[in-house]
Structure 1
Amino acid sequence: MIQLPPGEASQLHTLNLTMMERDILRQMQLSPETYAYESLAVLEFELTTRSRIIEAAKDLNNSGASFATFEGSYCNERYWQLQPNGAFRLRSGVTPAEGITDIFRNGRLYAFECATAMVIVLYKAVLGAIGEASFNTYFGGLVLYDWQYDSDLRIISRTTGTSYPGDVRYFNNPDFNPTNPEWRGENAIQLPGGLYYAHGLGIRRPEEILRILNMRRRPGSLTPAYLLEQYEVLDYAYTYRLKSGVARIGGQVFVLG
């Protein structure tokens, strides 16, 4: 169920949504859970940003970027500096928007592991959602490494409720073969139609991802891989405020002109 301020619920039909966005909206409306929004504009922003996450996941899948462990990571050093731990640090003089966009434009020059891929997808979606000016204001000094991310990329972890396309899920492989620790699990973006984007594996159905992980278990293991109930959700209400020009920079609140 969707909860909106008085007078705005009747305006749901006025939203200019794609068929996929309307399908997500319909699922949320039919859910026994309550999704409260401070305004119709925030709801619309969430739906369109979820579309951007899905689009970014597909674009990264088609970019030519490769999977690599932290030790084997590499990047386009015109935009990023490769750190000893496998992190990418944005070069001085390069804007955050330029750095993120290059990963999708010149993916063959990049290799990274799956958690970093999830953060890159979310950054690209937020860039599209709030625009270059706001993105460069709030996401200066980017470092891409594992699940480390800028404090203005607000991500909420949930252990109950329904996940929707655009959320991040985790396929856990608790009995992975210790000789290949990169197969301890797989982060994935939930897509429409029961599909998932998992960096290095591509776009697949969940049973395919589980089958691949199960092939990488410890010899003799009887503990199968499984999809965790926990999932990660972008904080859409906070991100909407970045778009509108009111948010935090260094602990202070600013209004952008």
Structure 2
Amino acid sequence: MIVITGVDVEQINTLQLTDVERDIVNQKKKSERVYRYVSLEALDFELKMRTATIDAGKALYASDAKFAVFKNSRCNDQFWTRTDNGGFRLNSGIRPSVGINDIFKNGQLYGFECATAMIITLYKATLTVLKKDIFDVYFQDLYLRDWNYDSDLQLKMVEHNNEVFPGDIVYFKNPDHNPATPEWQGENAVYLGDGLYYGHGMGIKPAEGSIASLNKRRIPGSTTSAYLTDEVVHPDFEYLRKLSTSRNRLIVEKNDTEGVIVARIGTHMYTSNHKVSGIS
């Protein structure tokens, strides 16, 4: 069920929702689990983030970005620098929004593995919902590699108990993967709804298709099937929502001549890539 602090749940009907968002609401309403929200706006923000994540996953699939293991990863060096361990660090002076958008615009210049693809998908969704001026302030010094290098999305891993919602990141595990191809020990994927998942390197498939693809990459003779694990990952939606609704008012000024964003968050002044100083 859905519980919203101080609000009758029927007020959800006042929200302008897409069919996918309404399906998510109905699924949560029918659940035996309690999904709590601090406000109607908090629920609406989560739904918009989920929609944006679905759209970003489909867009990354259509971008022509290739699957590549870390040692063979590649990026557009106009915006990113490839590090020795196969990650991508945003070049100095490049707005985060520009760097992320280039991956979707010039995907043929990029190659990365599935966990990095999920991080890129979530950054694109966040950029879509928060808009570029706010994104460029809060998501500076981007480094793309895998889950271990992300912190500013405040990712949460939760057990789904057979409740996976569109926009969740799931994991297909391949316990008997061939040691010669460790990249196929599993597949991170975005659940797109309607039983379909986007996994970088596998494309868009139902769960059975993803499992079948992984099973082809097992130790020869193995009968242990790959499977969908019981955990999902998604950003802390309330944390992201507060980035634009904090008591510390975000003031953004654009210098069109120099292409620099200057922002004040509370007592601190930022440019598009750096915190400059403390200001009262």
- What's the TM-score once normalised by structure 1's chain length? 0.94
Structure 2: which 5+ runs fail to align? 249-264, 270-280
Shift of 1:8: 4.4
Q: Which has the higher strand share?
A: 2
The 3 A distance-change label for structure 1 pair 185 and 7 is: closer
User: What does residue 239 of structure 1 align with?
Assistant: 240
Aligned length: 252
User: What does residue 155 of structure 2 align with?
Assistant: 155
Shift of 1:118: 0.2
Comparing 174-183 with 113-122, greater Cα deviation is found at 174-183
The 3 A distance-change label for structure 1 pair 148 and 208 is: same
CA distance in 1, matches of 2:194, 2:45: 22
Q: Are the counterparts in 1 of residues 113 and 200 from structure 2 also a CA contact under 8 Å?
A: yes
Q: Are the counterparts in 1 of residues 6 and 39 from structure 2 also a CA contact under 8 Å?
A: no
SS in 2 for 1:244: coil
Q: Deviations over 1:138-158 (max 9, x none)?
A: 110000012134422011111
SS in 2 for 1:191: strand
Shift of 1:238: 0.7
User: What does residue 64 of structure 1 align with?
Assistant: 64
Shift of 1:243: 2.4
CA distance in 2, matches of 1:196, 1:246: 38
Q: Are the counterparts in 2 of residues 129 and 243 from structure 1 also a CA contact under 8 Å?
A: no
User: What does residue 250 of structure 1 align with?
Assistant: none
Q: Are the counterparts in 2 of residues 8 and 40 from structure 1 also a CA contact under 8 Å?
A: no
Q: Are the counterparts in 2 of residues 139 and 150 from structure 1 also a CA contact under 8 Å?
A: no
Q: Deviations over 1:116-138 (max 9, x none)?
A: 00000000000111111111111
CA distance in 2, matches of 1:129, 1:163: 21
User: What does residue 165 of structure 2 align with?
Assistant: 164
The 3 A distance-change label for structure 1 pair 245 and 99 is: farther
Structure 1: which 5+ runs fail to align? 248-252
- What's the TM-score once normalised by structure 2's chain length? 0.86
Q: Are the counterparts in 2 of residues 8 and 39 from structure 1 also a CA contact under 8 Å?
A: no
User: What does residue 256 of structure 2 align with?
Assistant: none
Matched, 1:25 2:25: yes
User: What does residue 222 of structure 2 align with?
Assistant: 221
User: What does residue 196 of structure 1 align with?
Assistant: 197
CA distance in 1, matches of 2:43, 2:217: 41
Q: Deviations over 1:201-254 (max 9, x none)?
A: 11001111111111110012121111101111221111100122457xxxxx84
Q: What is the 5 A alignment of 1:108-127?
A: 108-127=108-127
> Could you say what the CA RMSD is over the residues aligned between the two structures, in angstroms?
1.7
SS in 2 for 1:148: helix
SS in 2 for 1:97: helix
User: What does residue 50 of structure 2 align with?
Assistant: 50
Q: Deviations over 1:159-184 (max 9, x none)?
A: 24322010010000011011111111
SS in 1 for 2:244: helix
Comparing 117-126 with 236-245, greater Cα deviation is found at 236-245
CA distance in 2, matches of 1:173, 1:254: 47
Instruction: Report % sequence identity.
Output: 47
Comparing 229-238 with 114-123, greater Cα deviation is found at 229-238
The 3 A distance-change label for structure 1 pair 192 and 82 is: same
Runs of 4+ in 1 over 3 A off after TM superposition: 253-257
CA distance in 2, matches of 1:205, 1:241: 34
Report the AA paired with residue 194 of structure 1: G
